[in-house]
Amino acid sequence: MQITANDPSRKSWLNVAKDSDFPIQNIPFGVFLTPENIITIGTRIGDYAIDLGALHQLGYFKDIPLTDDMFLQDSLNDFIADGRITWRLVRNRIANLFDINNRTLQDQPEHREVVIFDVNEVEMQLPVDIGDYTDFYASKEHATNVGSIFRDPKNALMPNWLHIPIGYHGRSSSIVPSGTSIRRPMGQTKAPNAAQPTFGPSKLLDFELEMAFITTDVNHLGESISIEEAEDYIFGLVLFNDWSARDIQGWEYVPLGPFLGKSFASTISPWIVTLDALQPFRVESPKQDPAPLPYLQQKPNNSFDIHLHAYIKPLNGEENLVAKSNFKYMYWTMAQQLTHHTSNGCNVRTGDMMGSGTISGPTKDSYGSMLELTWKGTQPLKLSDGTERKFINDHDTVILRGYCENEKVRIGFGECSGKVLPAR
């Protein structure tokens, strides 16, 4: 089925600013509370939030096989479970309805009234009921930086890193949507030269610039999928801030990996941009040397050119751009991650989420965490208000943004932001 929704020449009868992340070619999916406090599934064009539940009740999807309450839900899980053909039918239909040349909805002011909201009047929710969340460690630059900082710059990568998309199971319960404040975690830490550990607020609170993809039902327990089919199961992507307390993490993580240093909170952007919408921005992923084992070998053009920016905004201060990275720097692709994940028979379900791990690029200004940007605090960043940061302070807001752009269209992710509150 053609993805007619992606037609770059299409214009909408809704006003879309030139630099908007949400032209009619994007059509992401999210969940929001309307001003009347009704929860619904929606999409966004420009600065308008569109209530798909109301559109469906008004009959605008009637020849697409959807249950009556498909969009009147508090998560996208049922819609995602319906699979790619349904996603395409719905995106194509929305593109048609909001096309400037289509007068069906445009000429129904009483319908427009109940379907279209100012995006500032709605309250975005977590878009998915996340079952299992996995975080990968897929940027070679990030893994090399971390290995250099904590171990040996000459043997920065662990022996397995170039052979396996290394990942770990994360905590689903503490994933929150953009805009939710983050409480600085308490925890047990031990300074390198201290005799005993102590318990108190984390002193080394960090962000991690990541993206995450969300899956439809992939496989039954005991089965696996081939790398050729992996992308068919990916619904879309969000921006992801994997908040990290480096001091808690450092003391707890050997030998079983990150635990309370991560599980106090993780933030995602609320609009899921579909893999379909990202198709025009396919690029080559980094060359893999040594070649991966056959089950992880894939055809070319497996990554996406997504510009990623991280900002720190101090209390009453302005936004400071602290990192400029790109999704395409990821060494291990999403298809490799998902294939590897099912290779042991582990079942992946609708609403599962997989994070990329921190996406760092080759240059110092492209590192995706304060740990790397300040080289573990040894090279503090100067902010525009004259203050310095080694890590994240109380009352700082961390904002991630991401977008794809070519000469015809810009597809963005909006923002993924969280303000840090002092420890309790």
Query: Which residues are designated catalytic?
Result: 142
Q: Which is nearer to a copy of itself, 106 or 288 (CB)?
A: 288
Encode 355-371: b = buried (16+ Cβ within 10 Å), e = exposed.
Answer: bbbbbbbeeeebbbbbb
Position 294 contacts a copy of itself (CB under 8 A): yes
363's tokens = 């240059």
Pick the piece of the chain touching a copy of itself (CB under 8 A) from 15-23, 250-258, 305-313, 358-366. Answer: 250-258
Residue of 345, 365, 379, 382 that binds a copy of itself (CB under 8 A): 345
Q: Which is nearer to a copy of itself, 26 or 397 (CB)?
A: 397
Q: Which is nearer to a copy of itself, 24 or 245 (CB)?
A: 245
Integer CA distances (angstroms), 138 to 164, 219, 372, in order:
9, 23, 15
Q: Which of 363, 331, 375, 369 is nearest to 139 (CA)?
A: 331
Position 346 contacts a copy of itself (CB under 8 A): yes
What type of residue sits at position 240? F
Pick the piece of the chain touching a copy of itself (CB under 8 A) from 9-17, 24-32, 48-56, 184-192. Answer: 184-192
3-class DSSP state of 311: strand
For a copy of itself (CB under 8 A), the number of binding residues is 65
Q: Is the dihedral of CA 96, 102, 108, 113 positive or negative?
A: positive
Position 418 contacts a copy of itself (CB under 8 A): no
Q: Which is nearer to a copy of itself, 40 or 342 (CB)?
A: 342
d(CA 327, CA 308): 7
What is the C-alpha R_g of the chain? 22
Binding to a copy of itself by CB under 8 A, coded x per residue (else -) over 189-228, reads -x-----xxxx---------------------xxxx----
d(CA 150, CA 158): 12
Q: Let me know the angle formed at the C-alpha of 68 by 44 and 233, rounded to the nearest 5 degrees.
A: 60
Can you give the binding site for a copy of itself, defined by CB under 8 A?
Answer: 131-132, 137, 158-160, 163-164, 166-174, 176, 182-183, 185-188, 190, 196-199, 221-224, 245, 248, 251-261, 263-265, 290, 293-295, 340-341, 343-349, 352, 421, 424
